[in-house]
Structure 1
């Protein structure tokens, strides 16, 4: 008999599209949330060297000291850990591994966990999996998360607020002003804040601000999957108060054990590798897609990540995506990321040729 907790958890809508793509012949694929560039050469070489030098066994569950020190230095240089200099670090199995450990360590059954709607698919289901109560905060139509919108949903059971900026699936970047106001509200109400910053390397119109320096009770999550195209390497990290990080480390002993050894060694090299060329390339892709769609679709210009979230003609995301798939175009219905089904997600982490083909098909459906 399958456990009762599985009744409310469906398979990932994104993975369903991945499976569909594998069955189609030469689809125009604008559904995949991973960079189309390869892992930088020096990082690949570092992984191979680590394997050849025998770094193929378990590491400490918390991660190698070399990588944790390198992460600490990089975050300090970026100003993302200001006022949190004494916080601890755990290396995780990707950013999503850190997300799972953090929620498991902080949230009791019945606790409410708040996040913006639209949201990354895992937030809602991970909270439900451990018995928490997901609270999706409607941010339509501008996708802006503000302290005022959050405050309307706060109750005595509110425990954790998840901030995702830049956001998957909208590409929205929360302003410094809004982040400071949200932090002030969280501090006043005693909320924990989990800042998912995995897309922090992709901000196109200004700096990516972090809420982490402004909160009293917080965790910062980031990793290498998006910034360095290391999606299959499964290396991320979490930064937070030592007593919380050590509980996450304890949980990791009984779940992921450790992030891959050779990937941890390569990640040290990744932290020192200049990725500005990728940022500039993706800014051009963002502009290419936006210019191609803005006159035909209701679309807010994304400020970061590598997604756009247009409103579906006719107002039904699932129905529109079916029409797109019939024309060999793969995009994701908005209902995968939202309690609504009015939009659809496009990933422009693709070649310019693929983006142009996608725009052409979308024009035919507008």
Structure 2
């Protein structure tokens, strides 16, 4: 039978309304497609420079020969990994978190699961500016209204500025922040929790960069309890970004609905990725991660701080980012284009995070200190030119 030709009447190529609202977020892919082959220094990557432990790589190889790798499994994740993650959370919170653990295909998928479980279309979700762009996008995909609240001059969320209404369902805190790199301290987190609890609003704490803290900053120690959900990933600390494995812990009474959503979206996280995560948590201790951070991330951070501190940049105490201000007459899109064309540096525009006169500079994935110094020097020349007035 011949394929139909000509124009099909009645079919729209414009896409759904939710898709047409996502143009800002799709710029991430557009930048990589436009500039990717000509990049000298890619300062966009949200991953560390190290490779997974040898035991993780061996676990991946061994998983290929296991029959269960190719079959359906438990929706929440393989039992061994759930048990080990439960133990880890008990140690982290210095008590039994008494919560369910769900393993997902990266924390972005986990975030969407949580939105779909807790929220109805039209509900409001509070995000703090600068926000993580995938969180903003997920809200739109779920038919929710992201309400963006300004942080203070140090990029920390002031509780008194929360605009909680009858439509507010969830407050999202990312600590350490992406793109700000700021750690929300225990006292401030407690204030946010108490306010949410009083208003009957959920608090979601995204701790993707929990292992990356500096200058005595401490990441969140609030356990998942009624009204709180904690979200994590293996992408950063264990460098498993490509395998897409994350997890979150949540109150037991949500289990039925969480399982229904997970089963519909992903069925379960990839077995091979889960086996790799199990090997990572069993063989790559927190001490190993701290050593990697101290020996690798800290010197990279210092090299870049010597450059970005000249431009009124807030000193991040977490993650591996700096959120660098631009002159008021230079948009982040202009700056990205200029840095790429003239200096071979690819960074993300602040507009992706809700702030137009900034650039997010990520130094964690640079392969060596020599490459780090070269990238920092190129960035210095580029920023000097921007602040002096582009040619």
Give TM-score scaled by structure 2 length.
Answer: 0.87
RMSD over aligned CA atoms reads 1.8
1:113·1:161 contact (CA, 8 Å) conserved in 2?
yes
The match for 2:92 among 56, 66, 78 is 78
Describe how 1:108-257 pairs up with structure 2 within 5 A: 108-139=120-151, 141-150=153-162, 153-210=163-220, 212-213=222-223, 216-257=226-267
Q: Is the 8 A contact 1:95 1:236 kept in 2?
A: yes
Q: 1:145 Cα deviation (Å)? A: 0.9
| Distance across 2 between alignment mates of 1:178 and 1:156 | 23
1:333·1:344 contact (CA, 8 Å) conserved in 2?
A: yes
Gaps of 5+ in 2: 1-11, 385-391
| Structure 2 residue 345 is matched with structure 1 residue 307 | no
The aligned counterpart of 1:353 is: 370
Instruction: Tell whether the 8 Å contact from 1:113 to 1:127 is kept in structure 2 after alignment.
Output: yes
* Counterpart position of 1:107: 119
Structure 1, unaligned stretches of length 5 or more? Answer: none
Aligned to 2:388: none
Shift in alpha-carbon separation, 1:73–1:215, aligned structure 2, 3 A: closer
CA contact (8 A) 1:219 1:239 kept: yes
The question of whether the paired residues in 1 share the 8 Å contact of 2:303 and 2:376 is answered with: no
Aligned to 2:56: 43
Judging changes above 3 Å, is the alpha-carbon distance between structure 1 residues 158 and 179 closer, same or farther for their aligned structure 2 residues? same
Check conservation: 2:225, 2:250, Cα contact below 8 A: no
Report what 1:293 is aligned to. 308
Aligned-pair CA distance for 1:214? 7.9
Distance change in 2, residues 1:253/1:215 (3 Å): closer
Inter-CA distance 211–48: structure 2 relative to 1 (3 Å threshold): same
Q: Deviations over 1:309-351 (max 9, x none)?
A: 010134522222221111211111100111x301000001113
Deviation, 1:357, is 2.4
Identify which range, 13-22 or 128-137, moves more after superposition: 13-22
The separation in 1 between residues aligned to 2:53 and 2:261, in whole angstroms, is 32
- Separation of aligned partners in 1, 2:251 and 2:374: 48
Q: What is the CA distance between 1:51 and its match in structure 2?
A: 1.7
Residue in structure 2 matching 1:97, options 109, 113, 136: 109
Counterpart CA distance in 2 for 1:18 and 1:40 is 28
- Partners of 1:90 and 1:245 within 8 A in 2: no
SS in 1 for 2:67: coil
Give the C-alpha shift of residue 207 in structure 1.
4.9
Structure whose CA Rg is larger:
2
Change (3 A) 1:116 1:211: farther
Moved over 4 A (4+): none
Following superposition, the deviation at residue 202 of structure 1 comes to 0.8
1:22 CA drift (Å): 2.7
Which residue, 6, 17, 31 being the options, matches 2:31? 17
Change (3 A) 1:85 1:180: same
1:325 aligns with 2:350: no
Alpha-carbon distance between aligned partners in 1 of 2:98 and 2:52, rounded to the nearest angstrom: 32
User: Secondary structure of the residue that 1:56 maps to in structure 2?
Assistant: helix
| Inter-partner Cα distance in structure 2 for 1:32 and 1:286 | 15
SS of aligned partner of 1:162: strand
In structure 2, C-alpha distance between the alignment counterparts of 1:258 and 1:316, rounded to whole Å: 42
Q: How many Å separate the matches in 2 of 1:198 and 1:17?
A: 24
Secondary structure of the equivalent of 2:219? coil
